[in-house]
Amino acid sequence: VPSPSTSAIAIIGAGRLGTALGRVLRDRGANVVAIASRNPEYAQRAAQFIGVQPVNIERIPALASRVIISVNDDAIASVAGQLRGAGFVSGPDAPRMALHTSGSRGPEELFALAETGVSTAALHPLQTIPSPERGVECLPGSFFGLCGGATPEAVQWASEIIVLLNGTKLIVQPEHWALYHAGAVFASNYLMTMLDAALEALEIAGIPRDQGLAALAPISRASLENVLRLGPDAALTGPIARGDHRTLERNLDGLAKASAQTQAVYRAVGLRTIEIARRRGLDPHLLRQLERALKDE
């Protein structure tokens, strides 16, 4: 396999993130040259969006020294194997690097490549990207989790990418990567869950979901803004902040009409919310009453 330019980047995975990342990197002057995917039609569409050529994975070793793998988490290891099989290996005069963008898998997922001398790392945007277009808007300025493999070159490259995107780097040790990702799940995915549970309760109370969503917008936006500005301790209001166990009992009575999961979430999240009240110095007697109400003791 001939040696391509050491700066040439190929993307694998024409999904939401791979397409957005390819486009912003290219717009900001990175040497993105090609994109590959499982489905050639999707690769074609993403290539057009980014402004590069669509290719088969087999062509990548001849075109790029650097690869960003942005495929479904379960496919990362097999794509790494495929890339190695195609000849993506490091030589003394031809260093190669590979990143994947998953927060739920560590750099060891790229083992097939690392074994042949390719420097590897996981570079995870701490962002939610529902479409390539939204990704182009919100990737710049994001924070990025970065977890290196055995050699430093890929971490160095990933750091350059973060700088190019005006981002901020969060270095995470491999043994803490799963913990870091759990934090991201709480901060993003579980916010949706909280609102979905709220919509369920409102719907049973006779407020249709679309109206419920509109009704929640001001309170949810203000709550998020408050916690981001003031921190959870200062931002918390409501029955647990006040030490009002009777309201919790009444809420749980009302929720008897809701799903079992929603009732369980109310209790579990309530118990975790008591930790905030404890930090705020709520009276220990009131804390115990709140706990008893949520545990049905």
Ligand X SMILES: NC(=O)c1ccc[n+]([C@@H]2O[C@H](COP(=O)([O-])OP(=O)(O)OC[C@H]3O[C@@H](n4cnc5c(N)ncnc54)[C@H](OP(=O)(O)O)[C@@H]3O)[C@@H](O)[C@H]2O)c1
- Which residues contact ligand X (rule: CB under 6 A)? 12-18, 37-39, 42, 70-73, 75, 78-79, 101-103, 124-125, 127-129
Decide whether 39 or 237 has the Cβ nearer to ligand X: 39
Q: Shortest approach of ligand X to residue 16 CB, angstroms? A: 4
Q: Which helix (H) or strand (E) holds 84?
A: helix 76-85
| Residue 297 neighbours by CB distance under 10 Å | 8
Decide whether 70 or 273 has the Cβ nearer to ligand X: 70
Q: Shortest approach of ligand X to residue 293 CB, angstroms? A: 37
Q: Shortest approach of ligand X to residue 185 CB, angstroms? A: 11
Q: Using CA atoms, how far apart are residues 52 and 255, in angstroms rounded to an integer?
A: 53
Residue nearest to ligand X (CB): 15
Task: Pull the structure tokens for residue 51.
Answer: 């402004």
Q: Shortest approach of ligand X to residue 29 CB, angstroms? A: 23
Decide whether 43 or 97 has the Cβ nearer to ligand X: 43
Decide whether 174 or 231 has the Cβ nearer to ligand X: 174
Q: Shortest approach of ligand X to residue 160 CB, angstroms? A: 19
Decide whether 70 or 119 has the Cβ nearer to ligand X: 70
Q: Shortest approach of ligand X to residue 144 CB, angstroms? A: 10
Q: Using CA atoms, how far apart are residues 165 and 161, in angstroms rounded to an integer?
A: 6
Q: What b/e readout covers 212-250, taking b as 16+ CB neighbours within 10 angstroms?
A: bbeebeeeeeebeeeeeeeeeeebbeebbeebbbeebbe
Task: Pull the structure tokens for residue 290.
Answer: 């709140």
Amino acid at 29: G
Task: Pull the structure tokens for residue 9.
Answer: 């980047």
Decide whether 47 or 277 has the Cβ nearer to ligand X: 47
HSE-up (13 A, CA, CB side) for residue 239:
17
Among 6, 7, 97, 14, CA closest to 53: 14
